[in-house]
Amino acid sequence: MESIWRESARLPQYPQLKGDISTDVLVIGGGMAGLLCAYQLKKAGVDCIVAERKRIASGVTQNTTAKLTSQHGLIYSRLEKQFGLEAAGLYLRANEEALSEYRALCADIPCDYEEQNHTVYSRRGGQNLEDELAVLSRLNYPAELVGGLSLPFPTVGGVRFPHQAQFHPLKFLSGIVRDLTIFENTPVQSLSKTEAVTAHGRIHANAVIAATHFPFLNKHGSYFLKLYQQRSYVLALENVPIPDGMYLDARENGLSLRSWDGKLLLGGGGHRTGKPGGGWAELEAFVQAHYPEAKIVSRWATQDCMSLDGMPYIGQYSASTPNLYVATGFNKWGMTTSMAAARILTDQICGKENPYSVLFSPSRSILHRQLGVNALEATVHLLTPTRKRCPHLGCALKWNSQEHSWDCPCHGSRFSEDGQLLDNPATGNLPKK
């Protein structure tokens, strides 16, 4: 079940760390966020090392739908209600600047970069679209309300962002990693201040960035309360009409559509990790109803960290951990947000002010309804009697019949049928019987 990105690109291989080494900044995690952090730090003249548990881009990055957009659902009307118009504008600017950075980099990297419009559509009622457009108008952003969408089902229209983009994420990474110092198959076993211990050596650093998808240090930052994870699924289809642009349902866990190499990438079927959901079966039913002549050429799934308030956590890991930084909680928009995170963290490490630091601060308020939901899930599954327990914090694991894995509904760790670790925050395999 490899993604089309993994099947169509080859990334360079890197050695395992053997021995002790020192650096200005250690980046833990070799996905899009970690590698972009290392790239931006190196460009700023900072010595940097990346330590990756397996192969670079072997986690969420290889399973993304790879949209580059500032349109993360109908988010701006919600941000204005929750935080005010200024905060909504900062979020928009941060992502638009990230998109511009990609545009500049991709001009010199053959990565199938293609500028496209992106549209969030609604299938029932249009007031939500009008509310979103009103906020964007107050932010002087050139979005428009559109109808007559090239989709195989009826809609009431959509909000369209111009000049967004799509690309091949692994081809892009192959262009930025060439001059980076990277160690693969080098999981960090423990971290004491800014010294990391691995199986075959230690890494001494002045600062550390945790870019591990779900943060792995439980005693700082309360990320086990601030984050939960969601699964979502993708089918790559041939012999179907290709829509004009990229599309996303305004509803949570609705359908996502984009194209690549004559194929339609259909995403959806999402659910909280460890909970039942539509999965590939939901997507297959949609294909049968709307694309009966389609041929499914690839399928894969991904996992996303979701924050309490819909904004990422980017900055100092916690108030009590100077020189330790984090980038997480990208809420299904890890491509554009990874670039924003790299710019923010590079400025912070270099002692420069960044206009978005306060907005994305991991130390902002956690008093949101989702906090209660996360706490309830943890309590229920900690008290559920079962032999299969997650080694992260002890929650009961649930069997995922579609993907044949043991999944944790508390924090999203996943394990293969024979107990091998698939997704963090757990850091090791299930104990053998």
> Residue-wise pLDDT tens for the chain (433 aa)?
789 999 999 999 999 999 999 999 999 999 999 999 999 999 999 999 999 999 999 999 999 999 999 999 999 999 999 999 999 999 999 999 999 999 999 999 999 999 999 999 999 877 999 999 999 999 999 999 999 898 999 999 999 999 999 999 999 999 999 999 999 999 999 998 889 999 999 999 999 999 999 998 888 989 999 999 999 999 999 999 999 999 999 998 899 999 999 999 999 999 999 998 889 999 999 999 999 999 999 999 999 999 999 999 999 999 999 999 999 999 999 999 999 999 999 999 999 999 999 999 999 988 888 888 888 887 877 777 877 888 898 888 899 888 889 999 988 899 988 888 898 898 888 887 6
Q: What is the pLDDT of residues 402-431, one digit of tens each?
A: 888 999 998 889 998 888 889 889 888 888
Q: Which single residue is written with the structure tokens 């330790």?
A: 324
Full-prediction pTM beyond 0.85? yes
Q: What is the pLDDT of residues 139-187, one digit of tens each?
A: 999 999 999 898 999 999 999 999 999 999 999 999 999 999 999 999 9
pLDDT of residue 309: 94
* φ, ψ at 171 (rounded to 5°): -65, -40
* Rounded alpha-carbon distances, angstroms, from residue 412 to 91, 214, 219, 388, 393: 27, 9, 18, 14, 11
Domains of the chain: 4-64+171-226+309-349 (3.50.50.60), 235-306 (no CATH), 369-423 (2.102.10.10)
Q: Which single residue is written with the structure tokens 């050429």?
A: 297
Query: For the chain, what is the HEC assignment?
Result: CCCHHHHCCCCCCCCCCCCCEEEEEEEECCCHHHHHHHHHHHHCCCCEEEECCCCCCCCHHHHCCCEECCCCCCHHHHHHHHHCHHHHHHHHHHHHHHHHHHHHHHCCCCCCCEEEEEEEEECCCCHHHHHHHHHHHHCCCCCEEECCCCCCCCCCEEEEEEEEEECCHHHHHHHHCCCCEEECCCCCCEEECCEEEECCEEEEEEEEEECCCCCCCCCCCCHHHHCEEEEEEEEEEECCCCCCCEEEECCCCCCEEEEECCEEEEEEEEEECCCCCCHHHHHHHHHHHHCCCCEEEEEEEEEEEECCCCCCEEEECCCCCCCEEEEECCCCCHHHHHHHHHHHHHHHHCCCCCCCCCCCCCCCCCCCHHHHHHHHHHHHHHHCCCCCECCCCCCECEEECCCCEEECCCCCCEEECCCCEEECCCCCCCCCC
Amino acid at 146: V
Cα 272 from Cα 46, distance rounded (Å):
38
